[in-house]
Amino acid sequence: MKNNPFDLAGRTALITGGSKGIGRAIAELFARAGADLFLCARGEKPLAETAEAIRAEAGVRVEAMTADMARRDDVGRLAGEAVERLGKIDILVNNAGWNIPQAIDEIRDEDWDYVVELNLNSVMALTRSVVPGMKQRGWGRVIHISSIMGLASTPKRNGYSATKAALIGLCQASALDLGPFGITVNCIAPGPIATEMPMSILSKPQQDALAARTAMGRWGTPEEIAGPALLLASEAGRFITGACLVVDGGALARVF
């Protein structure tokens, strides 16, 4: 075991949705811990800017590729491209996701299919692609970014809550599959984190109400998810698997 159990030197990490928000915060912290990175996102410009900024700050290798995780062809290309450029993938962070707020009787088939493909199917497909290499090396870390919306919900969050809950089940099942090979699989369930997605969907009164539900009376930051991700990705978290780590500022602790 390394002297610093949080050291990721010599490790490589593939992070989806890595250009901003939670994905970027995780990428930045992993890079400071010494990991080389392969980032993907849909937007070419923010992805390139993030990759360059992390290279300049941390001095690690950062590769990047645009990909739409709702397209199975893109998911298939991503794993191969990451291994070709970095040689291996030790850590996978499935972070890409989206929410289309709709009441159950308002859901359009195309919207449901999109959310399920992006939030759930792509996670299965990408994990399935990178796991064989991890098994060969006898070491791996898989981290799914779920949500407290997978443990509870609010109105019009049907697709989002369903897929985020499914990620927790997928995590538990695959942790049992992969534990004998030295691979851990875990979820992080963020609470209200100030990123583009919730801020673009929620009104100011809704944002204030969510802040008031936390024990700390505020929204969290993406950096406050990156720390738990580093724990799960490192030797410090080597005996944590099949777990869903709730990072919500105490939101789920409140009954009324």
Angstrom distances, CA of residue 125 to CA of 8, 70, 109, 195: 25, 11, 21, 25
Angle between helices 72-86 and 122-137 (to 10 degrees): 30
Angstrom distances, CA of residue 176 to CA of 179, 183, 242: 6, 10, 7
HSE-CB at 187 with a 13 A cutoff on CA atoms is: 27
Structure tokens of 227?
A: 């720390």
- Catalytic residue, from 160, 186, 189, 228: name it: 160
Residue 160 is a catalytic residue: yes
Q: Per DSSP, which regions of the chain are E strands?
A: 12-16, 36-41, 62-66, 91-94, 140-145, 183-190, 244-247
Angle between helices 21-32 and 44-58 (to 10 degrees): 20
Residues classed as catalytic: 160
